């Protein structure tokens, strides 16, 4: 089975969901991932399709007219001062559009708290037929595959999965062979991009965040063995291209940048014998 390709919101942060869907269709993407739960990061807009019913209707129309589906929403973060039950509205809207995945990550060191919140999040999402894909992020509290497995093994929810981002896996110094020890049913999607060979220290969050949010590389352009990672994942995993590069997007325009994201990824996969 050939992989499907998705366009992640962070790649084109300025595109609202309807525009994103129409443009993704033009460029040849199969699906998109939208940020209907805002994080308040630099350059992020409010794409809350639950509260903004006009945007919801336009998004549904774009899906109907193009056949492009929404693979996932983000970001259902777990953090101090955040009640995950507040994500029910976005889950309800996503379910109305047929969305099956939400991305989550953990930003607090309070273990009992984040385990309880993650379990509650999974239970809430299950009511809407949604899988919670826990992402380990290099500058977050849960930042390795081992730590992510510990969360899933503790909460034991059948709609919990693991979201691998190739940049975070590389920069968190995770051996791709660790993926072989994970049940394949835990993987539903992956974020792909490339990056430089050098890895900043754990405490150099400014450098980690800069590359992650502003200057990721096209697939095959950097030092990450993306093919080795993808080969260890199920054949039906959706490959979501999360590849913000503010300088290139500013110089070439968002449309050209998103086009190159897809073409370089597909060329790389063909060169490495991956469909």
Task: Provide the CATH number for the domain around residue 90.
Answer: 3.20.20.150
Domain that residue 200 falls in: 5-271
User: Strand, coil or helix: what is 135?
Assistant: strand
pLDDT average, residue stretch 82-105 = 97
Are the beta carbons of 7 and 24 closer than 8 angstroms? yes
Residue 275, pLDDT above cutoff 70? yes
Residue 40, pLDDT above cutoff 80? no
Residue 92: which residues within 8 A CB-CB, separation 6 or more?
50, 128
pLDDT average, residue stretch 94-116 = 98
Per-residue pLDDT tens digits for 202-239:
888 899 989 999 999 999 999 999 999 999 999 999 99
CA–CA gap between residue 35 and residue 190 (Å, rounded): 16
Lowest mean pLDDT among 41-50, 70-79, 154-163: 41-50
Per-residue pLDDT tens digits for 120-129:
999 999 999 9
Which 3-state string (H, E, C) describes 75-100?
CCCECCCCCHHHHHHHHHHHHHCCCC
Per-residue pLDDT, 161: 98
pTM: 0.95
User: Strand, coil or helix: what is 8?
Assistant: strand
* DSSP state letter for 223: S
Residue 43, pLDDT above cutoff 90? no
Count of the separate structural domains present in the chain: 1
CA–CA gap between residue 21 and residue 15 (Å, rounded): 9
How many CA atoms, within 13 angstroms, populate the side-chain half-sphere of residue 241? 32
Are the beta carbons of 89 and 51 closer than 8 angstroms? yes
For the chain, the average pLDDT equals 96
Phi then psi for residue 189, to 5 deg, are -160, 165
Q: What is the DSSP string of 228-241?
A: HHHHTS-TT-EEEE
Per-residue pLDDT, 175: 96
CA–CA gap between residue 145 and residue 129 (Å, rounded): 25
CA–CA gap between residue 168 and residue 212 (Å, rounded): 8
């Amino acid at each position: 089975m050939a992989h499907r390709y998705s366009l992640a919101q962070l790649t084109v942060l300025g595109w609202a969901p309807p525009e994103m869907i129409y443009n993704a269709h033009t460029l040849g993407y199969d699906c998109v991932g939208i940020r209907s739960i805002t994080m308040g990061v630099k350059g992020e807009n409010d794409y809350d399709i639950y509260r903004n019913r006009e945007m919801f209707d336009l998004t549904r129309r774009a899906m109907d007219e193009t056949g492009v589906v929404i693979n996932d929403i983000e970001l259902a973060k777990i953090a101090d001062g955040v009640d995950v039950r507040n994500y029910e509205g976005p889950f309800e809207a996503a379910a109305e559009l047929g969305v099956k995945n939400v991305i989550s990550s953990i930003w607090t060191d309070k273990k009992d708290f984040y385990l309880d919140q993650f379990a509650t999040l999974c239970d809430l999402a299950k009511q809407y037929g949604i899988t919670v894909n826990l992402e380990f992020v290099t500058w977050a509290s849960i930042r390795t595959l081992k730590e992510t497995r510990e969360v899933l093994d503790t909460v034991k929810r059948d709609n919990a999965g693991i979201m691998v981002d190739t940049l975070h896996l590389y920069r968190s110094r995770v051996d791709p062979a660790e993926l072989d020890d994970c049940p394949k049913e835990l993987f539903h999607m992956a974020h792909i991009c490339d990056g430089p060979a050098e890895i900043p220290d754990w405490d150099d969050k400014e450098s980690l965040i800069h590359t992650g949010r502003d200057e990721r590389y096209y697939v095959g352009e950097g030092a990450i063995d993306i093919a080795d990672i993808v080969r260890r994942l199920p054949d039906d995993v959706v490959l979501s291209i999360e590849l913000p590069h503010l300088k290139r997007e500013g110089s070439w325009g968002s449309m050209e940048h998103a086009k190159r994201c897809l073409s370089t990824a597909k060329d790389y996969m063909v060169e490495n014998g991956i469909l």
